[in-house]
Amino acid sequence: MAEDRDPLTLDVDRDYVGWITLDQPESRVNLLTAPSLALLDRLIGELESRIATGKLVAVVVRSAKPGSFVHGLDVRELERVRDRSDAFEKSREAQRIFRRLERLTVPTLAAVDGMCLGGGTELIIACEHRIGSDDTTTRLGLPEVRLGILPGFGGSVRLPALVGIQSALDLILSGKTISADRAKRIGLLDRIAPKPRFEMEVSAFLKEILAGKARGKPRKKPLAKRLLEDTGPGRSLLFSIAERKTAARTKGWYPAPGRALRLVAETYGLPIDQALELEAHALAELAVTRESRSLVRIFLLQQDAKRRLGEEAMGQARRVERAAVLGAGVMGGSIAELIASHDVPVILKDIEQEALDSGLRHANELLQKASSKGRFSSGEAGLKFALIQGTLSYDKFSEVDLVIEAVVERMAVKQQVLQDVEERVPSHTIIATNTSSLSVTTLAEASSRPDRVVGIHFFNPVHRMPLVEIVRTEATSEEVLAAAFSFAVAMGKTPVLVADRPGFLVNRLLAPYLNETGYLLDDGADVLSIDAALEEFGMPMGPCRLLDEIGLDVADHVSVEMERAFGQRMRAAGVVDGLRSEGLLGRKNGRGFYRYEGAQQKGVEPVVAKRYSGTGDADAPDAEEIRQRTLHLMVNEAAYAIEEGVVESAGELDLSLVMGIGFPPFRGGLLSWADREGIPNIVESLSNFEERLGDRFAPAGLLRSMAEEDLTFTDAD
């Protein structure tokens, strides 16, 4: 039943303290929306009237939502921005409301318990005082740059004034979040209180404020900070260093951090109303850029992916309370770590003690690394590690809700393992496979309950790659599918539903892209120019580097499978096979396309450099040709995949490539990029290559008909 409660309420207690409570109905988190801002405006009007009649002494802003103070602006509001002047007006309106809050003539206190992001942080810094709970869910930040914009509700102006330029830039330009403790240290919070006593401490702080005792001494800045921030030349130096660093980091692909930096430089020290107007102009400029539109699209696709099966199915999905992972290799150890890090007990089983020890060691290292990055304390890391029970036996399998098999990639072994498991687990247990190239349907043929078999395909490295492909077979039940989805979401991953076709989605699209690298080398391009061409496009690493990371043995195996499945258009180039047979396996043995010493890459492997030195001929592939051949083939394969129903929408395909291989998010995903390139242009380019280089470039039927009918992928969604 729909609730018609307001997302914000005002209660004035008998001591004349006004409590504004945020609690958005039917939502796990509080978000700012145009209506909730309008309501805040109305409540502030009511507070003003009470102040005028002497019936109000202070205002507290708090949240009634566990774990969420305010998660920021509802991103759909950004999607709805029509044009620059619309963005400007929206920013001005929110600024006016926060300014009105700031101008109240009684003390205002923000009580922050839970996530405080974007507009939430901008709201609390329009208050006079701020107290935060020490709960781990309390994190603060201004993630706007991650959506290609900047804080435009006063945050770009008020934060530098409150915490100093360097600390403010650290937050605004990176979009990262910080703990309550760190927020207190930089002066974003005045005080932290233990979570169990939070309400009491808020009241106590309020009493001090009302007694006039809370106005602490202004924080004395260290000398270096004063020299840099409080003098003209110091500030110039500071901004020019920040500009250089930002340009290096964003490589000209992301305009927001650079614009935010310029804005802070322009507005620091200006009268606030003048500064706010400049802020709204800067926001409006960014909100309509292609980069921001792309980032917003990807963000919303990610949100949609998590709700893909609908609230009802997800609500009813069985929660995994105990899990087991089979195979303690590269993937198994990392999957067990992921599960334990989310506080779910997990059995890790292998058949070799040595492999088990190595998997457990790897899991422990990952937990320690996460704790050194501040994700949790080292004590917690220890507790989480204790949730992983390493074993060589099937004892205790009678208690697990989910088994994920990550044993060697051989059908016969996997089928045997599946049968062994089924004899030992309860009837409700979900049996998932992490296979990357075998058919889940064939695997399920060995099962006595194929409706409970599903693919949960993680990517390597598991802790870093946000994508999980959920592979359904004809037999997989809806209930199992929903449980697999909700498990992936509970593990912090983005699930995408894919059909059981060879390579599923991401590896299939990667295959022609990586294979073409071999043909390019044969045609006279060299390793460095191939990688540079795609890195310039925005790929996190070029295809030769990626092949080294995957391992040339694994890549070769995959390419054989792909050729078997898809024939001529995936005919292996032979380069990877050649290098592998000479013992070059990639990063894992220090020699692949590049040479490695420990973690360091030491230039192109001499054997490779000699063989593929680049012909330097005028007709050797240049950067443009390298990009077209690799990326247009990927688009072509995407068209086949969509035609075959491997994935349901262009949006899900785009999201999968961004989350699965780091396809540049500012380009909005492969198909969104292809649409902008023009489908007819891509068909023409493929046809030209087909004529010159062979059948593998033959445009897919779907692509041809789209070109003829002037259709785009993203419009079809």
Ligand X SMILES: NC(=O)c1ccc[n+]([C@@H]2O[C@H](COP(=O)([O-])OP(=O)(O)OC[C@H]3O[C@@H](n4cnc5c(N)ncnc54)[C@H](O)[C@@H]3O)[C@@H](O)[C@H]2O)c1
Residue ranges binding ligand X (CB under 6 A): 326-332, 349-352, 355, 406-409, 413, 417, 434-436, 458-460
CA distance linking residue 231 with residue 224, whole number of Å: 11
Q: What is the DSSP string of 351-398?
A: S-HHHHHHHHHHHHHHHHHHHHTTSS-HHHHHHHHTTEEEESS-TTGG
Catalytic residue among 428, 457, 463, 632: 457
Q: Least Å distance between CB 393 and ligand X?
A: 11
Q: Least Å distance between CB 439 and ligand X?
A: 12
User: How deeply is 412 buried, as exposed, middle or buried, from its count of CB atoms within 10 A (0-12, 13-18, 19+)?
Assistant: exposed
Q: Least Å distance between CB 17 and ligand X?
A: 56
Q: Is the distance from CB of 47 to CB of 104 less than 8 angstroms? A: yes
- Nearer CB in complex with ligand X: 409/445: 409
- Nearer CB in complex with ligand X: 122/422: 422
- Nearer CB in complex with ligand X: 311/423: 423
- Nearer CB in complex with ligand X: 258/332: 332
- Amino acid identity of residue 712, one-letter, is T
Of residues 35, 12, 10, the one with CA closest to residue 20: 10
CA distance linking residue 545 with residue 552, whole number of Å: 11
Q: Is the distance from CB of 190 to CB of 130 less than 8 angstroms? A: yes
List beta partners, residue 139. 179
- Nearer CB in complex with ligand X: 350/523: 350
- Nearer CB in complex with ligand X: 282/562: 562
Q: Is the distance from CB of 61 to CB of 97 less than 8 angstroms? A: no
List beta partners, residue 193. 133
Active-site residue 457, yes or no? Answer: yes
Q: Least Å distance between CB 390 and ligand X?
A: 12
Q: Is the distance from CB of 547 to CB of 582 less than 8 angstroms? A: no
Residue number with the smallest Cβ distance to ligand X: 329
Of residues 674, 662, 678, 672, the one with CA closest to residue 636: 674
- Nearer CB in complex with ligand X: 264/431: 431
For residue 512, what is the DSSP state? H
CA distance linking residue 449 with residue 452, whole number of Å: 6
Q: Least Å distance between CB 693 and ligand X?
A: 30
**Can you read off the two tokens belonging to residue 301?**
């696709």
Q: Least Å distance between CB 414 and ligand X?
A: 7
* Run of H or E including 495: strand 494-499
User: How deeply is 41 buried, as exposed, middle or buried, from its count of CB atoms within 10 A (0-12, 13-18, 19+)?
Assistant: middle
* Run of H or E including 262: helix 255-267
DSSP β-ladder status, 191-193 and 467-472: unpaired
Q: Least Å distance between CB 488 and ligand X?
A: 14
- Nearer CB in complex with ligand X: 398/615: 398
Question: What angle, rounded to 10 degrees, do the helices at 506-522 and 623-643 form?
Answer: 150
User: Rounded to 5 degrees, what are φ and ψ at 473?
Assistant: -105, 175
Q: Least Å distance between CB 356 and ligand X?
A: 8
Active site residues: 457
